[in-house]
Structures are given as C-alpha cells and as structure tokens.
Amino acid sequence: MAGCGAVGGEGTTRLESFVGLDGLHQRSADLRPAELGTAEAQAFRRALESAEITNVDEVRAALSFVPPADRRAFAFAVPGCAETSAELTVAHGALTVRLTGGENVRCVQANYFLAVFSLDRGSIPPTPKLSTSPR
C-alpha cells in the first residue's frame, strides 16, 4: 500500500510504501530505522530476511525504492495491530513515524509493519534522529 502520510510540512513527505511484515512476531534489535541506500539499510534488509518473514518479495520491493536526487528515503519497522497506514513527523531534527487507521481493534499479539517514506532533501538535517512512536 502506498499513500500520503505527511505531517509537519505539506508536500515534503510522502509515504512510498506500507507493508505488513508477515511472520515477524517480535522486533529484532537489528531493525533500527535506516536511510535507504546506506549500509544501515542493507543491515535492516538482512535482519528482515533472517526473521523469516513470509512476504519477503513485497518487502524487498519496498526497500528497493530509489528516491530522485532531490529526495531522501527512510525505512521503519513499526509494531502495531491492524493499522492501515503511517505518518511521518519532522520536528527538531527528528523523523518520527506513527501508525494510523485500524482503530477499535484489539490484538493479542503485535503485528509489525514496514513504512518507507521519502522527503525533500533540504527539509531535514544531514543526520536526522530516526524513531518510532507508539500509537
């Protein structure tokens, strides 16, 4: 799924991909948010592949996104329940993702989601802090 997930800067942030991480039942310490095209993103991808997710092709496709030269892209693995999208907040040099949708659903076990966002290169510092926010 792809859609708009911008907060704090109309037009600067785009949700490029939102994918359930089928088969991931607990978060690995290796799944730290990462900028695509970096060594950290390669480690992120390897961590997902070693977690034996069942939709690896869909996840690989999402992580293969290449932003145009004037944009940067970031990947986040986020725990949730039955969410349908994600938003990215840009504030004080930090990028924070929050899942949205899927209200009024109670999950016994967390589900995990991959969210890939792109941003205008000039809208964020060279080394932003990357984090996830609980619902």
pLDDT at 37 over 80: yes
pLDDT of res. 107: 86
Full-model pTM: 0.88
Cα–Cα separations (whole angstroms), residue 111 to 27, 55, 84: 10, 14, 12
Q: Taking residues 2-23, report their average pLDDT.
A: 72
Q: In the chain, pLDDT over 90 holds for what percent of residues?
A: 63
User: Kind and range of the H or E element at 118?
Assistant: strand 111-120
List, for residues 70-97, the tens digit of each pLDDT value: 999 999 999 999 999 999 999 988 999 9
pLDDT at 22 over 80: yes
Cα–Cα separations (whole angstroms), residue 116 to 35, 64, 99, 104, 119: 9, 10, 12, 25, 10
